[in-house]
Structure 1
C-alpha cells in the first residue's frame, strides 16, 4: 500500500449519511490528522459555503476541520474560470449562495447583461424565468458551464433532483454540451490538486460512489479507495472494467 500524503474525501455516503453520523469516518479523519496528512473534502455540492460545510462537520459529525479543508464545485468553478477568463468577467448564475459567493469572492460580476459565461448548478428556488434566461444567453453566445452532473441527491424525502437534472434541461433547450466541473470530471480534481500543491501520485480519492468519486480519480490518473457505506454495491462495482485501487466495507479497515 502506498503512503499517501493527501486524502481527497467525499461527504455524503462517505463521511455521513444525510444527518446520520458515520462514526468510522470521524475516527478515520482523526487518524489522518494525527498522522499529519493533508485532508480536503471534495464535494459536488455547490449550494453551501466552505464555512457552512465545515461547521456542519464539527457540530454534527465530530469532525474537527475548517473551511480550508473544504473544496466544493462552487470553488472549483471559480478556480476554473480564473484559469480561462479575464478578471471581472461577467457571469449569469443559476444556483444558490455558495456558488454565487465563490464567484464574487474571486472577482466575477454576476449579471444577466451580456455575460460571457452562464453557470448552472443546483438551485432549489429555480424558476422557468431563470432557466429561460440561461437558455437565451447561451444561445446568444455565452459559454455554458455546469457545476456537476448528479441526477439526484439523497435526503430525508428520498432521491430528489440534483444539479445535473437542471443542467440537462438547459443542455436540451440549447443543444449545447456544457463544460462540466464536478466529479466524475477531471477539472475539479485538477483544481483540488493545485490547491493542495501535491502531485496526483501522492493523493488518494476516498468515496462511496463508483460513478462519481472513483471515476473522477480514474479520469485524472489518481488512486482511489471505495468504501461501501453509501451508494455503490460490491456486485455492481465488480462489473466495472476499471476497478478502484482499494475497497473497504468500513473506513475503520484502512491502515494509515
Structure 2
C-alpha cells in the first residue's frame, strides 16, 4: 500500500480522524506522513454546522492534528459553491442551518430572504422551530429550489444517535411533497466540487473514510478509489454483504504507509 500512489487524498473526519471526542492516534500519524511527503489532502465532512476555522481549531486543540482552513471542505462550503454556480443572477436564499452554513452562503454573496427566495437550503439546525419550517415550506411552494446539505438521518454523539440533517430535511420534504437536491456524501456533488477545489481528476485521488454508506458510496458514485478504515461506523460484517467493495480495507491508518 503506497502512500504516494495517489496525488491527493479526500478524508472523512468523524470515525476516521477521531471518534466523537476520542483520539485515533494512527490518524495523526497518517496526516503527518501526508504533510511530510507534501501530498495535498482535503477533509470532507457532512457536518454543515461548523466553519472551517472551527474544524481546524477542534482538530488542533482536541486531537493534536494541525492543518489549515485550506484543508477543510464542509458540506456547507460545497452547498454554497453548488448553489452559487447554478445561476449568477440568483442570490436570494432562505436557509435553515447553523453558522457554518449561513457563513458559507454569505461568503458567496447570498442575501437572506424569507418570502421569495430563489433557493431554500436546509441543513442541521440545533434551534429549528415550526416557524422556520413554515417559511421554508411556503417558499418552496412558491417556486424556490429546494436544496439539502446532506442526507444523514442521525449523528453519533456521546448521548447516542441523535437526529441529523437528513431528519430535518425530511420534514420539509414531507410538507412540500418535494425531494431535496442533496449535496453531501454519498452524493456526487460534494465530490465534484472537492475535485475542482483540489484541481485534480477522479483517478488522481482516493477517498478515505469509515462509513461505507457515505464515504465509500460517494467514492464509488464518482469513480474515485476508496479506502475504508475500520475505526468508525462500518464493520467487516457489514461490508462483506455489499456487492461493490471498497478498493482497499484496513484496520488502522498505520497500515497505509
TM-score above 0.5, yes or no: yes
Give the match for residue 176 of structure 2: 174
What is the rounded CA distance, in whole Å, between the counterparts of 2:89 and 2:208 in structure 1? 34
* 1:63-212 correspondence runs (5 A): 63-87=65-89, 89-212=91-214
Q: Deviations over 1:26-49 (max 9, x none)?
A: 000000111111110000000000
Equivalent residues of 2:115, 2:139 under 8 A apart: no
1:88 deviates by: 5.7
What is the rounded CA distance, in whole Å, between the counterparts of 1:203 and 1:88 in structure 2? 33
Q: Deviations over 1:206-236 (max 9, x none)?
A: 0000000000000111000000000000011
After the TM superposition, list the runs of 4 or more consecutive aligned residues in structure 1 that deviate by more than 6 angstroms.
none
Q: Deviations over 1:54-82 (max 9, x none)?
A: 11111111111011100001100111012
1:191 is paired with a residue whose SS is helix
Count of residue pairs brought into register by the alignment: 255
1:156 deviates by: 1.1
What is the rounded CA distance, in whole Å, between the counterparts of 1:56 and 1:120 in structure 2? 24
What is the rounded CA distance, in whole Å, between the counterparts of 1:145 and 1:184 in structure 2? 15
Question: Which structure 2 residue ranges, 5 or more long, are not aligned?
Answer: none
What is the rounded CA distance, in whole Å, between the counterparts of 1:81 and 1:166 in structure 2? 19
Give the TM-score normalised by structure 2. 0.97
Note the aligned Cα RMSD (angstroms): 0.9
Q: 2:43 aligns with which of 37, 41, 47?
A: 41
Equivalent residues of 1:226, 1:247 under 8 A apart: yes
2:146 is paired with a residue whose SS is strand
Give the match for residue 238 of structure 1: 240
What is the rounded CA distance, in whole Å, between the counterparts of 2:87 and 2:186 in structure 1? 23
What is the rounded CA distance, in whole Å, between the counterparts of 1:42 and 1:175 in structure 2? 30
1:224 is paired with a residue whose SS is strand
Question: Which structure 1 residue ranges, 5 or more long, are not aligned?
Answer: none
Q: Does 1:62 align with 2:72?
A: no
Give the match for residue 255 of structure 2: 253
What is the rounded CA distance, in whole Å, between the counterparts of 2:21 and 2:238 in structure 1? 26
What is the rounded CA distance, in whole Å, between the counterparts of 2:213 and 2:87 in structure 1? 30
Higher mean displacement: 54-63 or 43-52: 54-63
